[in-house]
A and B are shown apart, each in its own frame.
Chain A
Amino acid sequence: MEIAFSVLDDQIARFRLDKSSIAFANSLRRAMIGEVPTMAIEDVKIYDNTSALFDEMLAHRIGLIPIKTEEECLIPRDTCSCGGIGCPSCSVLFTLSVEGPGMVTSKDLISQDPRIGPASPDIPVVKLIGGQKVVLEARAIVSRGREHAKWQPTTACGYKNYPVVTVNDRCDACGHCVEECPREILEIRDGRVAVIEGRLESCSLCRLCERACLNTGIGEEAGIIVRSDESRFLFVVEGDGSLPAKNIIRQGLDYIRTQSQGLAAQIYEISGETRDEND
């Protein structure tokens, strides 16, 4: 398995996964979405709310604010030594107290722990007019995306097969496929259709070019053929700001490793065979 990054910054990563399988690519995608722990506000205690929004609505909006987390603060509540009651090592307390007029934003959420806070300071929560007031206490806990989407570290996270575009001898460079391609990846070069340098990865495998070719009356077989490479994948991972994209990928891969090692250990135990450590 090999990974080659084409874009890697704090929020977005694009990479190519080589020498892999569909099953692995999908398990990596699922691990990144659903199994990477992040922090989000779970319990809200409302002391005063005279705003136009109902308490539930307010709590829901606050819950969706991504919380930036440092990795070492992450202990899921169910594995914490406090037994799930909520202690400073598995949860963080936020307080919010604002009086109108003005907009309540995520920067008004004052964290107990200076290392942890909202990923963006400008997320509007509610607009207040003079005399309105919101006072509340919110507790953020660590959990996983499979529990609720607010704990997903990713927004857009997915993959596609690597496209393989081949042009055979039947191509007569009529240019119909070049016009048809919605991603504009084709051109006519040296009397033949070819993929523009560096644009192959934009191909969406829609195969409109194949259809355009057949519609010219070329016969049973098209002059351009689009197939997908079953062992290479193009991934897009976009974070919501709670974790850097690199951490999401690393923790997703870590999760697959611990899960598969656990499975292997169980199987060895059942079958009674001795385990080869190099497996």
Chain B
Amino acid sequence: MIPVRCFTCGKVISTAYEEFKRRRDTGEDPKRILDDLGLERYCCRRMLLTHKEIIDDLNPYQ
């Protein structure tokens, strides 16, 4: 799961992840998406850029 807040500054960034993921998968430039989502600082930007979602891999196991 995407962290709720940015590790460094504490801004809530998890709300932006769904849209980021959708638009990135359509091949849009991540820079433009992040600018659109209002993530100005590089600490918040790296949160989305470097996130690897593994919840779907974990979910089958209890």
Contacts and interface: CB of A to CB of B under 8 A. Distances in A.
Interface of A: 50, 52-53, 61, 64-66, 119-120, 122-127, 129, 132, 149, 152, 154-156, 238, 240-241
Contacts of B23: none
Interface residues of B, number: 21
Given A52-B55, A123-B4, A240-B5, 10 more contacts: A50-B62, A61-B4, A65-B4, A66-B12, A123-B15, A124-B15, A125-B1, A126-B1, A127-B55, A240-B11
A240 B15 CA distance: 13
4 nearest CB pairs, A to B: A64-B4, A52-B58, A155-B11, A155-B10
Residue from A65, A124, A129 whose CB has the most chain B CB atoms within 10 Å: A124
Nearest to B15: A122
B9 A156 contact: yes
A60 to B, nearest CB: 9
A132 B1 CA distance: 16
Contacts of B60: 129
13 contacts: A53-B1, A64-B4, A65-B12, A122-B18, A123-B15, A124-B1, A124-B2, A124-B17, A126-B1, A129-B59, A132-B59, A149-B10, A240-B12
Contacts of A126: 1, 55
A149 B9 CA distance: 10
> Main SS of the interface on chain B?
loop
A124 B10 contact: no
A177 to B, nearest CB: 26
B42 interface: no
A204 B24 CA distance: 33
Contacts of A119: 12
A127 B2 CA distance: 11
A243 B2 CA distance: 24
Residue from A64, A154, A155, A238 whose CB has the most chain B CB atoms within 10 Å: A155
Interface string B17-60: 11000000000000000000000010000000000000110111
B14 A156 contact: no
Contacts of B14: 123-124
A132 B10 CA distance: 30
A198 B4 CA distance: 37
A126 B58 CA distance: 12
A127 B58 CA distance: 11
Contacts of A129: 59-60
A107 to B, nearest CB: 11
Nearest to B10: A155
A122 B11 CA distance: 14
Nearest to A60: B4
Contacts of A149: 10
A124 B5 CA distance: 11
A10 to B, nearest CB: 13
A120 B12 contact: yes
Contacts of A50: 62
Nearest to A63: B4
A155 B4 CA distance: 13
Nearest to B19: A122
